[in-house]
Amino acid sequence: MSEGIAQADQPQTLEGEGRDLFSKFDDIIAMREGLLSKGVEDPFNLVMEQVLSPTRAICNGRETILLGTYNYMGMTFDPDVVEAGKQALADFGSGTTGSRVLNGTYQGHKDVEEALRDFYDMDHAMVFSTGYQSNLGIISTIAGKGDYILLDIDSHASIWDGCALGDAEIVPFKHNDIEAMEKRLKRIPEDAGKLVILEGVYSMLGDVAPLKEMVAIAKQYGAMILVDEAHSMGFIGENGRGVVEQAGVIDDVDFIIGTFSKSVGTVGGFCVSNHPKFEIMRLVCRPYVFTASLPPSVVATACVSIRKLMDAADKRAHLWDNSKTLHKGLRDLGFTLGTDEPQSAIIAVIMPDLEQGAAMWEALIKGGLYVNLARPPATPANMTLLRCSLCAEHSEDEVQQILTIFEQAGKQVGII
Amino acid sequence: MDRSQVDARIRELAEPFNKKGIEITDDTTFQNDLEFDSLTVMDFVAAIEDEFDIIISMNQQAEIETYGQLVDSVHKLQAKP
């Protein structure tokens, strides 16, 4: 027996003790502890004990108006949608346990893709298990080594992660800045493959992109165009196809990315396209291939919801009214908002700093109103935002109640 | 444009972003010494790109940590026809 093994373990003093791979998170841990030590309710640990409707829930023991759920069209409790889910659960079971390219394509997956083709009037539709995976998959697969991706600096995390997963050269430009985009496009080598990535609605401030101009310029330089319409589906454009439809450029974009987790009211994501070779994506796109497909109940609810969104013109009109009323009301109360005019169903209230933002969030939740607290680094220009997303099921009366709660909270915290 | 000319132009462009007036040498780092956050980096890079009519992709930016490395990269990029 060697001496080394026979000897008892000696306490060792290692250099950098107490540091490990988690040390990189120390700053954010400290920020969070600092915030919570002041006794505020944790904005990132809210539990909805009961959900009463698309606009009401019991949160932390209180009945609360929901104004931060992205449930724009209020489809989550639609009787036809719920019934379709129950039926699929009974007929097809709780899950597919397989990839779309193996045993995970059920009739429901084909049906929801058909519904998407009809909704967008496009040739191809491919459904992913989440919206995040749709961007991750399409972007990383189509733009490869030597290609260039030009994207808005305020793009969603799923777009950035799609860029990071691929091998293309990544070139960001200033948010919604047409000139900055064109200048960069002009400098990309002429023979290189180019993909321009834009969003219809940017979710932090709720502002829309100048798609008419940007799409025209991207086409002029021979770039393919991908537009993420996650926050506009079902609501913006005559048929709810998004900002691309409203701007009259839907036929000029190559890919539209969307999600089931907002207006559609469930979970999942998709890409629609008219590209003649699009179907090959199903074999080469790894975030599509190497993951289990959506449960049958989910695709069944999505399918019914999408078809109902096709003729939801009245709901769209009511949601616009809600957005306008809330925007004007908050402005009249003296709050600073992310946009001068309401451009979408998102209204961002800009807070002076994180501390007052958290205090305001808490005052709102105690007053019976849930909104999203958005903070750096997820926000543009390191702003702290209270992000409100309206629902077509919010009644006029509820919007007035929301304004009253905002007024009381704002005065209590001293922001207005 | 030779390296010293590129250096002089970038030095001018960096001035408004160097809020604390830190002395810049080739070894000065953007993240630690100059404390540039991601938004400052974007504005600074955009200013350089427009000045030299080049693109510095994020892939290239990831390789650049110090002021000297930036000047070298821009010098190389703008020399290309």
What was the pLDDT predicted at A157?
A: 95
- Minimal Cβ distance to A171: which of B50, B53, B55: B55
Cβ distance B49 to A170 less than 8 Å, yes or no, reads: no
Q: Which of A27, A148, A153 to mutate to test the interface with B (most CBs of B within 10 A)?
A: A153
Q: For domain A77-310, which architecture applies? A: 3-Layer(aba) Sandwich (3.40)
Position B30 scores a pLDDT of 94
pLDDT for res A168: 98
pLDDT value for A1: 44
| pLDDT (0 to 100) of residue A45 | 84
Kindly write down the DSSP assignment for every residue of B9-78, as one continuous string: HHHHHHGGG-TT-PPP-TT-BTTTTS---HHHHHHHHHHHHHHHT----HHHHTT--BHHHHHHHHHHHH
pLDDT(A125) > 60: yes
Measured between CA atoms, how close is A190 to chain B, in angstroms?
13
Q: For residue A171, give the nearest of B39, B43, B57 by CB distance.
A: B57
Of all residues in chain B, the one with the smallest CA distance to A189 is B55
Interface test with A, best of B31, B37, B39 (most A CBs within 10 A): B39
Q: What are the residue ranges spanned by the domains of chain A?
A: 40-73+313-413, 77-310
* pTM of this structure: 0.93
The sign one gets for the Cα dihedral A39, A44, A45, A46 is: positive
Q: Do A170 and B58 touch (CB under 8 A)?
A: yes
Chain A, nearest residue to B49 by Cα: A184
Interface test with B, best of A149, A187, A221 (most B CBs within 10 A): A187
CB pair distance less than 8 Å for B50 and A381: no
- The whole-angstrom distance between A209's CA and the closest CA on chain B is 19
Q: Of all residues in chain A, what percent carry a pLDDT higher than 90?
A: 88
Same fold, A40-73+313-413 and A77-310: no
Question: Residue A382's pLDDT is what?
Answer: 84
Boundaries of every domain in chain B: 3-18+29-79
Residue A8: per-residue pLDDT: 59
Closest CA to A377 of A136, A19, A31: A31
- pLDDT tens, residue by residue, A341-396: 999 999 999 999 988 999 999 999 999 999 999 988 778 888 999 999 999 999 99
- Overall average pLDDT of the A243-268 stretch: 98
What's the confidence (pLDDT) of residue A11?
58
pLDDT at A3: 47
pLDDT of amino acid A381: 82
| Residue of B53, B58, B59 to mutate when probing chain A, most A C-beta within 10 A | B58
What is the per-residue DSSP string for A286-307? Answer: HHHHSSBPPPHHHHHHHHHHHH
pLDDT in tens, A180-208: 999 999 999 999 999 999 999 999 999 99
CB-CB under 8 Å, B53 with A170: no
pLDDT at A86 (0 to 100): 98
Q: What is the pLDDT of residues A298-341, one digit of tens each?
A: 999 999 999 999 999 999 999 999 999 999 999 999 999 999 99
**Contact A171/B at CB under 8 A:** yes
The class that CATH gives domain A40-73+313-413 is alpha beta
Span A8-54, pLDDT tens digits: 566 565 566 678 999 999 988 998 888 888 777 788 888 999 999 99
In chain B, positions 35-74, which contact chain A (CB-CB < 8 Å)?
A: 37-39, 42-43, 46, 49-50, 53-55, 57-60
Residues near A50 by Cβ (< 8 Å), separated by ≥ 6? Answer: A57, A58
* Tens digit of each residue's pLDDT (9 = 90 or more) over A71-83: 999 999 999 999 9
Each residue's pLDDT tens digit in chain B (81 positions)?
A: 899 999 999 999 999 999 889 999 999 999 999 999 888 999 999 999 999 999 999 999 999 999 999 999 999 998 875
Q: Are A170 and A146 in contact (CB under 8 A)?
A: no
pLDDT value for B75: 96
Contacts of A187 in chain B (CB under 8 A): 49, 53-55
Considering only alpha carbons, which residue of chain A is nearest residue B50?
Answer: A183
What does the mean pLDDT of chain A come to?
94
Residues from chain B that touch A172, judged by Cβ atoms under 8 A, are 42, 58
Residue range A96-103: mean pLDDT, rounded: 97
| CATH number assigned to the domain with residue range B3-18+29-79, chosen from the 4 options 1.10.1200, 2.60.40, 1.10.10, 1.20.120 | 1.10.1200
At A366, is the secondary structure helix, strand, or coil? helix
Nearest to B46 among A163, A169, A174 (CB): A174
Residue of chain B minimizing CA distance to A182: B50
Answer whether B42 sits within 8 Å of A183, measured CB to CB.
Answer: no
What pLDDT is recorded for position B38? 82
Note the pLDDT of residue A364: 97
Mean pLDDT along residues A286-290: 97
Q: Which of A204, A206, A261 is CA-nearest to residue A378? A: A204
Does the pLDDT of residue A164 top 50, yes or no?
yes
